[in-house]
Amino acid sequence: MLELRIISIGTLSAHPLWGERQPVRTGHATCTLVRSGKRAIVIDPGLPMQAIATRLNERTGLHPRDITHVFLTSFKPDTMRGILAFEQATWWVSNEEREGVGVPLASGLQKAVREGDESLAKLLEQDVAILKRCQPAPDRLADDVDLFPLPGVTPGCCGVLCASAQKTTLVCGDAVATQEHLAQGMVLSSAVDVRRAQESFAEAVEIGDELVLGRDNMVKSPGRVGRRAD
């Protein structure tokens, strides 16, 4: 039996469609739990460890030890802040994302070490360790649960498509960020490749009956819409 539940609703650090141009809050991704068969998959644990563990129990009655897998739609602090709460789980990220962020991350760490920036080097060392532990995600995460590539916002941003007999739900990650972005057909201006992000946005809204937005709640998909950057 397939089950999908929102664990925590995310937010942008600065929401450009609310007129915010500088960070006014700590950004974190929407976190979702998908259960199928014997697998319990947490997607984008963006809250801190204790907070995500508490929210998981509040929303599902589960504990971090009950989670079999963690999947990151993209490799960002906002998507993985609480990943260490799930030490016993297998960690996944798309192979394209893993390859796309690996070299820049290693280069950033080397630069921080050369320049003697110990605090930045420590943060990057932790990110490198997390990335090394993340395995390339298979195309099928569980029965009726499949990867859905949505590149553009990051090199290998990847959603999760959950298909039941009644409906199809797509966990979008930052490919579709908020209800305002969805309504106005906008992608995040921070996208590494805006054109590809726009194409991914279009594919997301066309395939899903419901969309779990990267920094918002679950909503019904409007279908085909125009796209632009915020």
> 94 by DSSP, 3-state: which?
coil
Question: Which residues lie across from 33 on neighbouring strands?
Answer: 5, 42
| DSSP type of residue 214 | T
Tell me the C-alpha distance between 86 and 31, whole Å.
13
Q: What is the pLDDT of residues 39-78, one digit of tens each?
A: 999 999 999 999 999 999 999 999 999 999 999 999 999 9
- Is residue 20 predicted with pLDDT exceeding 80? yes
Kindly write down the DSSP assignment for every residue of 52-82, as one continuous string.
Answer: HHHHHHHHHS--GGG--EEEESS-SHHHHTT
Q: What is the pLDDT of residue 197?
A: 97
Collapsed DSSP state (helix, strand, coil) of residue 198: helix
Give the span between the Cα atoms of 178 and 125, in whole angstroms. Answer: 31
Structure tokens at 96: 């394209």
- Per-residue pLDDT, averaged over 127-138, amounts to 94
| All structural domains of the chain with their residue ranges | 2-229
- pLDDT bin (cut points 50, 70, 90) of residue 229 is low
The residues with which 148 forms a beta bridge, in sequence order, are 159
**pLDDT tens-digit profile of 81-114?**
999 999 999 999 999 999 999 888 888 888 888 8
Q: How many other C-beta atoms can be found within 10 angstroms of the C-beta atom of residue 52?
A: 25
The pLDDT of residue 158 is 98
Examine the pLDDT at 226 and tell me if it is beyond 60.
no
Q: Which CATH number fits domain 2-229: 3.30.530.20, 3.60.15.10, 3.40.640.10, 3.20.20.30?
A: 3.60.15.10
How far apart (Å, rounded) are the C-alpha atoms in residues 90 and 24?
33
Task: Output the pLDDT for position 230.
Answer: 63
Cβ contacts of 171 within 8 Å, gap of 6 or more = 4, 32, 34, 43, 73, 159, 160, 161, 162, 212
CB-based contact 67:97 (threshold 8 Å) = no
pLDDT score at 227: 47
15 in Cβ contact with 218 (< 8 Å): no
Q: Note the pTM of the prediction, 2 decimals.
A: 0.93
| SS3 at position 120 | helix
Handedness of CA 205, 179, 153, 132 (dihedral sign): negative
What's the half-sphere exposure (Cβ side, CA atoms, 13 Å) at 132? 7
- Output the 3-class SS for 44-59: CCCCCHHHHHHHHHHH
Q: Are strands 39-43 and 31-36 parallel, antiparallel or unpaired?
A: antiparallel
